Amino acid sequence: MQKILVVEDEVKVANAVKQGLEENGFEVDVAYDGRMGKSLAASNSYDLVILDLNLPHFNGYELCEVIRAKNNRVPVIMLTALGGVDDKMQAFELGADDYLVKPFDFRELLARIRVFLKRAGAEPTQSTQFKIAIADLEIDREKKEVTRAGKKIALTAKEYQLLEFLALHKGKVISKLTIAEKVWDIDFDTGTNVIEVYMNFLRKKIDKDFDSKLLHTKTGMGYYLSEEP
Ligand code: CA
């Protein structure tokens, strides 16, 4: 059974999410404040974490950093009443994989959880190519590890999925629409710049410290990964 940690100080919301998830076959731990969330996260292993942003003791950002430091791969979905671009950016920068603004529909939360957990479980069957090398970039699809020039690069689950998708289509320009569908499993929402945001994160981690750039933009068309500009 897949195990989910819910950290949320609004007891009603927390309990409703817990109940909904249990009805859908998940095992759920709830923490009603940041301190409790931190201690549960430190002593258990979870398949996914749902984090409220405003919490007593530690806020969701701080908690997200703690969780990331322990398990770089666990998907983290942030919940918050704030929906500003700055808040989203900060959530993504601190390693959240997705972001839901309250009030949200439980079915939407469930759909996003399923996307993350499905991907986490059923990846290597898609292709038998377990290692991808592009110039000095290496992606180990079994270990989900990425190195460049031999140096390990820490990516969040979503960053990894995006990079792997581009790498599997090396040299091909991939539209944002395709990325939204294949990597995020969503129909393209013109109101979100989440793909640009993630491309920026990847560039910082993959290209920033190297002279030869591997991630490229074809203006108005999409993105591609290639050793040639
Ligand atoms: Ca709260």
Q: What is the dihedral of CA 18, 23, 26, 32, to 10 degrees?
A: 10
Note the pLDDT of residue 26.
94
Top-level class of domain 131-225: mainly alpha
166 C-beta neighbours (distance < 10 Å), count: 28
- Give the H or E element holding residue 225: strand 222-225
Note the pLDDT of residue 124.
41
Residues 6+ apart with CB under 8 A from 122: none
Separation of CA 51 and ligand 1 centre (Å): 9
**Joined tokens for residue 200:** 């920026």
Note the pLDDT of residue 194.
84
Tens of pLDDT, residue by residue, the chain (229 residues): 899 999 999 999 999 999 999 999 999 999 999 999 999 998 888 999 999 988 888 888 888 888 888 776 789 999 887 767 777 777 777 778 888 888 889 999 999 998 888 755 444 444 556 889 999 999 998 889 999 999 999 999 889 999 999 999 889 999 988 888 888 777 655 556 888 899 999 999 999 999 999 999 999 899 999 998 7
Ramachandran class of 135: left when φ > 0, alpha when ψ lies in -120 to 50, beta otherwise: left
Note the pLDDT of residue 182.
81
Note the pLDDT of residue 61.
83
Separation of CA 77 and ligand 1 centre (Å): 14
Top-level class of domain 3-120: alpha beta
- Give the H or E element holding residue 107: helix 106-121
For residues 200 and 196, give the distance between their C-alpha atoms in angstroms, rounded to a whole number: 6
Asked if residues 79 and 104 have their Cβ atoms less than 8 Å apart, the reply is yes
Separation of CA 156 and ligand 1 centre (Å): 24
Note the pLDDT of residue 142.
84
Note the pLDDT of residue 126.
46
Query: Taking the domains of the chain in order of start, what are their residue ranges?
Result: 3-120, 131-225
Separation of CA 128 and ligand 1 centre (Å): 44
Closest C-alpha among 85, 66, 82 to residue 74:
66
Q: From edge to edge, which strands make up the β-sheet containing 76-80? A: 27-31, 3-7, 48-52, 76-80, 98-101
pTM here?
0.57
Separation of CA 74 and ligand 1 centre (Å): 21
Note the pLDDT of residue 191.
56
Separation of CA 134 and ligand 1 centre (Å): 44
Note the pLDDT of residue 187.
64
Separation of CA 78 and ligand 1 centre (Å): 11
For residues 123 and 116, give the distance between their C-alpha atoms in angstroms, rounded to a whole number: 11
Separation of CA 72 and ligand 1 centre (Å): 24
